[in-house]
Structure 1
Amino acid sequence: MTQKAEQINGETFLANVLQYSRNNHYNHINVSVRLNRNPAYTRQVMNVTLKRISKKYGNDERLYMSIPSDNATKFLALINRLKENMFANSEKQISWSTDLLARHEQTFGYRQIRERDQYNNLEFEILL
């Protein structure tokens, strides 16, 4: 009998990915929720990819994490809440304060790449 995996904590995960990307000089965090059409099972998977575009540190792109999207609903809800606050205040960037970050506050941009479609696919980018 299989156990359902636990939900990831949205605030902790966002703080960890922001801190990791800052420490390793990544400036784009791409989050993609897509339908995995494996014949054995059909489920949605969330992929978090880090991208660095830099003359000083070089260009790089790597997969940070891949998990079932059912386990990432708290993270996606946190991003959605931050995005809605940004649009409600007519701001161009999101400012997020938490004690989990080394600097206690992070400002980042948000760019929607793909809206939810008929398969509930979603893709957005966090710009540091």
Structure 2
Amino acid sequence: MSSKTEKVAAEEFLAMLLQYSRDFHYNHINFSVRLNRNPAYTRQVMNVMLKRISKKYGDDERLYVSMTADEATAILALINNLKEEMFANFSKKITWSTDLLVRESQEFGYRQIRERDQYNNLEFEILL
């Protein structure tokens, strides 16, 4: 058995996440990344929460996935590349195009909730 952690395919994960959130009318995707190197708290994890604020469909908040930070490095790198492209174009939203999406493109925005702190924790939100 291999001791290396399996990395999640970033494009497929993001496409499934965006498709699921659109199908079930979620309008906020919250990424909470705990990269805490504190010896007393060694768990390094990324949680993805879906949040819906809607009068028509009702308010809801649920955990979509929780994975170790090592498995999520490709996902974070993809989102960072999209964020950099958005900021380079001085726009509030970016359109991501891929064949993995049913509609082939998705527009979303990025909002930083919390900057990296002393323990390297990070929290941001994708707005649909």
TM range (shorter): over 0.9
SS in 2 for 1:71: coil
Query: In proportion to residue count, which structure has more strand?
Result: 1
SS in 2 for 1:7: coil
Shift of residue 5, structure 1, vs aligned partner? 2.8
In structure 1, distance between residues paired with 2:46 and 2:93: 23
Equivalenced residue count is 127
> Where do 5+ consecutive residues of structure 2 fail to align?
none
**Equivalent position amino acid for 2:75 in 1:** F
In structure 2, distance between residues paired with 1:50 and 1:26: 6
| Residue identity (%) | 71
Q: TM-score, normalised by structure 1?
A: 0.92
CA RMSD of aligned residues (A): 1.8
Q: TM-score, normalised by structure 2?
A: 0.92
SS in 1 for 2:8: coil
Give runs of ≥4 in structure 1 deviating > 2 Å.
Answer: 1-5, 35-39
Please say if residues 38 and 119 of structure 2, whose CA atoms lie closer than 8 Å, have aligned partners that are also in contact: no
* Deviation digits for residues 53-100 of structure 1 (CA, Å, limit 9, x no counterpart): 000000000000000011100000000000001001111101100000
**Equivalent position amino acid for 1:32 in 2:** S
* Deviation digits for residues 15-72 of structure 1 (CA, Å, limit 9, x no counterpart): 0000000001100000000139795x60211000000000000000000000001110
In structure 1, distance between residues paired with 2:49 and 2:38: 20
In structure 1, distance between residues paired with 2:101 and 2:45: 26
